[in-house]
Amino acid sequence: MTKKERYEAFVKYFSESYPQPETELQYSNPFELLVAVVLSAQCTDARINKVTPALFRDFPTPEYMASSHFDELFPYIRSVSYPNNKTKHLLALSKKLVEEFNSEIPTTIKELTSLQGVGRKTANVIVSVLYNQPAMAVDTHVFRVSKRLGLVTQTAKTPLEVERQLVKHIPEEYISRAHHWLILHGRYVCLARKPQCEKCEIIHFCKYFEKNKL
Ligand code: SF4
């Protein structure tokens, strides 16, 4: 199977099976999405969804969050990974949103990554989910599944290399959806330690499956 055929099979299967995939993080406005994505680094969406209802209730806007203090905010996110750093990030980024962005969420990767706690992956998620831009955020699931499938070369060593290869081959209109497809497939089927190939519906274009003659 050529790389082109593999990409075509990938887009065909997922666009038919999951035409409108969505993030599993719960949010109701752009600020909440930004906060949830920052919190979700190295943590599960399920854990984040447990803490955000109270957090969003008591800190509903950048102004509320920016005017709070570490000791007030920390208890709300105590149970997520790296709560100390994430509390500092949320205080700093909400302050910057108020002071430099009129409390709006920026629309460009450059502006977003100027906010504390917002790396390229987080910025890509924001522009893709909020503004429907063709951005590919590469997390651990996207990194692993795209390699196993053979969409990306085994020699790709960094998330940025994986992002570039995926964006080069996936048609623009599907890029933001492809991010969710790879995450969901990695989260529920193509698990890190033991891929569930026996119940996987895409063995017909998976390089890992083909190579290991499972
Ligand atoms: S066949 Fe196995 S390795 Fe390939 S995508 Fe499915 S679960 Fe992952």
- C-alpha of residue 213 to centroid of ligand 1, in Å: 12
With a CB cutoff of 8 Å and minimum separation 6, the contacts of 142 are 136, 159, 162, 166, 179, 182, 183, 186
Give the residue-averaged pLDDT of 10-23.
94
Which residues line the annotated binding site for [4Fe-4S] cluster? 190, 197, 200, 206
Which amino acid is located at 185 in the chain? Answer: H
Work out the mean pLDDT of the chain and round it to a whole number: 95
In this prediction, residue 170 has a pLDDT band, given cuts at 50, 70 and 90, of: very high
Percent residues over pLDDT 70 in the chain: 99
Please check whether residue 35 is in contact with residue 58, taking contact to mean a CB–CB distance below 8 angstroms.
no
**Per-residue pLDDT, 214:** 57
pLDDT at 21 over 70: yes
pLDDT digits (tens, 9 = 90+) for 119-149: 999 999 999 999 989 999 999 999 999 999 9
The domains found in the chain, sorted by start residue, are 3-21+136-212 (1.10.1670.10), 30-131 (1.10.340.30)
Residue corresponding to tokens 């492809």: 178
Residue positions annotated with a catalytic role: 121, 139
Ligand 1 and 148: CB distance under 6 A = yes
**Per-residue pLDDT, 22:** 87
Ligand 1 and 203: CB distance under 6 A = yes
pLDDT digits (tens, 9 = 90+) for 85-103: 999 999 999 999 999 999 9
- C-alpha of residue 185 to centroid of ligand 1, in Å: 9
CA–CA separation, 179 and 139 (whole Å): 9
Give, as one character, the DSSP assignment of residue 26: -
**Per-residue pLDDT, 212:** 85
pLDDT at 213 over 90: no
pLDDT at 104 over 80: yes
**Per-residue pLDDT, 105:** 97
Prediction pTM value: 0.86
